[in-house]
Structure 1
């Protein structure tokens, strides 16, 4: 039977980390009640290994010596060497134990941590998109366009929350409208297919913008995701503006698909920095229209709430909730926990 941490808790102090393709963020929890010690964000490209990053930017900057580590990483967890999907770091728990002195290392998926956050964050840490603002105690989904596209589910049963990690960002995404059909031939493919992540992430935003420009027969003048969203929101560049409309439309389609898969009556939560930056675009009609356009279940979809998670460190907050009260969550540690 899968073992959960409520029967064998990690020892405080605990290092918790949210490690994405671009940035890594760390807190230290000294005990179950104190506020966390927070450290500046780390750019993964600035360090060759996660061990060096933790040593130089965390452990060397405090006299507090963590006894345990709980890390959320962007990628599937298999074996003793765990590569991240969108950066060169490889997480090696046995090396963390041997070189950095941890006695206990648990590694979970980064969107599992986002799901933990969705289970515990207060209402003021989210912004409603659409007209439905209440979130019943029912299954939920979290999506996050960032360096990649993360997806996780969250199931409530037996008075516990069970996060369901996956790789939903790699589902197929295809054209539906005549404009889609004009744009999609110019989308960069991976082995012949367009996955959701090819469009719904930072590099995907650039990919989509270039495709819109190609469909219009104009040369692209923007190359940075932040510039495309800024010009799209302001309307200063016609192709950037359409890119943002298509981006939120496609995000709505995928979010609606995931809501149907999980029957997520408790809501769909959009996490990550991109979602927070494009809230005005998400509140326009296109996102909810695409989200609800799921015949024969359109009426059902109208009652499922959608939110943007506005907490700046949501994944770490979710990990902290789990570390403090692991008995509230059903997380299997099999194959994901190493001890010294």
Structure 2
């Protein structure tokens, strides 16, 4: 262990999407069965992922998985895999020994989102703007939630290849006069304003606070839910502008990623926040900011944008891979541990 064998994971397979705040699990008993869904787990309620699986997976079913495929929010290097926004550390060798598994595979959480956008149907997404997506052209998925995840998806040799990365940490900067008034007050990381400093839950609060400071107003909210709810109700001017600018900045970054990947297969918004601000995303400002990429504005108008509406998209993507691994070019080297 880790193994580079090409043998597929054996059923039943435990599928997990481990985020900074929530962990979601399902069990796939065979390649044709629908996944057995399990309740969401709050990561803060368990000291380790092994404890969470023992107490909130194994105690909920008599089915004992032989394999596990886990998507985690963080880079995968070595036998100990820390999560970016959660104190859990995934230790595949320990999981095999302690949980009776034969095979553990760990992928980036946005690789799982990329697998999802390769396989989800039209009922699991909502279009924002024109529907021009080419079925086998490159795609991009980005997701503001606890953090900001980004992945690409490329079709080649009859298979989809997910491309993981840390695109949520690229620089993001001001353009308008209003931006220049607000950005000096945004909390930085060693002097940088990265995408994740604005385009995630805590980033929404950073943006709201910066707007309040720029306006000479004392901030009232420290929870992103309060900001979005008061914006939706129209009861707080700074909260309303926060959501408007959040949508604009998200669109700008989505447009940048569309250019990088030439994503004529579409740009997909996943994560926990887009579904909570659908009203704002449906307004013309999202597409206007997305398309505002001179000298390529006309080309940007042809690139479709979507919100992923499937409630467990990452699990659906992992399940699609588990059923037919050969349909995807998912790298396993250094990321799969097995006793077989």
Would you call these one fold, judging by a TM-score over 0.5? yes
Q: How many residue pairs get matched?
A: 337
Match of 1:149 in 2: 148
- Work out whether residues 4 and 331 of structure 1, in 8 Å CA contact, stay in contact via their aligned partners in 2: no
Q: Distance in 1 between matches of 2:132 and 2:221?
A: 36
Match of 1:55 in 2: 54
Q: CA RMSD in A?
A: 1.2
Q: Distance in 2 between matches of 1:58 and 1:242?
A: 42
Match of 1:288 in 2: 287
- Work out whether residues 229 and 278 of structure 1, in 8 Å CA contact, stay in contact via their aligned partners in 2: yes
- Work out whether residues 187 and 211 of structure 1, in 8 Å CA contact, stay in contact via their aligned partners in 2: yes
Q: Distance in 2 between matches of 1:82 and 1:73?
A: 9
Residues 331 and 270 from structure 1, CA distance in 2 versus in 1: closer, same or farther, beyond 3 angstroms?
Answer: same
Structure 2 unaligned spans of 5+: none
Structure 1 unaligned spans of 5+: none
- Work out whether residues 162 and 330 of structure 2, in 8 Å CA contact, stay in contact via their aligned partners in 1: yes
- Work out whether residues 132 and 303 of structure 2, in 8 Å CA contact, stay in contact via their aligned partners in 1: no
Deviation at 1:233, TM superposition (A): 2.2
- Work out whether residues 130 and 303 of structure 2, in 8 Å CA contact, stay in contact via their aligned partners in 1: no
Q: 1:277 is paired with a residue of what secondary structure?
A: helix
Deviation at 1:227, TM superposition (A): 1.5
- Work out whether residues 151 and 169 of structure 1, in 8 Å CA contact, stay in contact via their aligned partners in 2: yes
Match of 1:332 in 2: 331
Deviation at 1:58, TM superposition (A): 0.2
Q: Distance in 2 between matches of 1:4 and 1:98?
A: 19
Instruction: Compute the TM-score of the two structures, normalised by the length of structure 1.
Output: 0.97
Q: Does 1:205 align with 2:225?
A: no
Could you report, residue by residue, the CA deviation over 1:180-208 in whole angstroms, capped at 9, with x for unpaired residues?
Answer: 00000110011111100000000000010
Instruction: Compute the TM-score of the two structures, normalised by the length of structure 2.
Output: 0.97
Deviation at 1:118, TM superposition (A): 0.1
Q: Distance in 2 between matches of 1:32 and 1:23?
A: 26
Deviation at 1:134, TM superposition (A): 4.2
Mapping of 1:202-281 within 5 angstroms?
202-281=201-280
Match of 1:173 in 2: 172
Could you report, residue by residue, the CA deviation over 1:131-154 in whole angstroms, capped at 9, with x for unpaired residues?
Answer: 335453210000000000000000
Residues 156 and 204 from structure 1, CA distance in 2 versus in 1: closer, same or farther, beyond 3 angstroms?
Answer: same
Match of 1:83 in 2: 82
Mapping of 1:129-144 within 5 angstroms?
129-132=128-131, 134-144=133-143
Q: Distance in 2 between matches of 1:36 and 1:283?
A: 32
Q: Distance in 2 between matches of 1:14 and 1:233?
A: 41
Q: Which runs of 4+ in 1 moved over 4 A?
A: none
Q: Distance in 2 between matches of 1:190 and 1:62?
A: 44
Deviation at 1:296, TM superposition (A): 1.1
Q: Distance in 2 between matches of 1:259 and 1:67?
A: 39
Residues 135 and 228 from structure 1, CA distance in 2 versus in 1: closer, same or farther, beyond 3 angstroms?
Answer: farther
Q: Distance in 2 between matches of 1:4 and 1:12?
A: 19
Could you report, residue by residue, the CA deviation over 1:275-298 in whole angstroms, capped at 9, with x for unpaired residues?
Answer: 111111011122111111111111
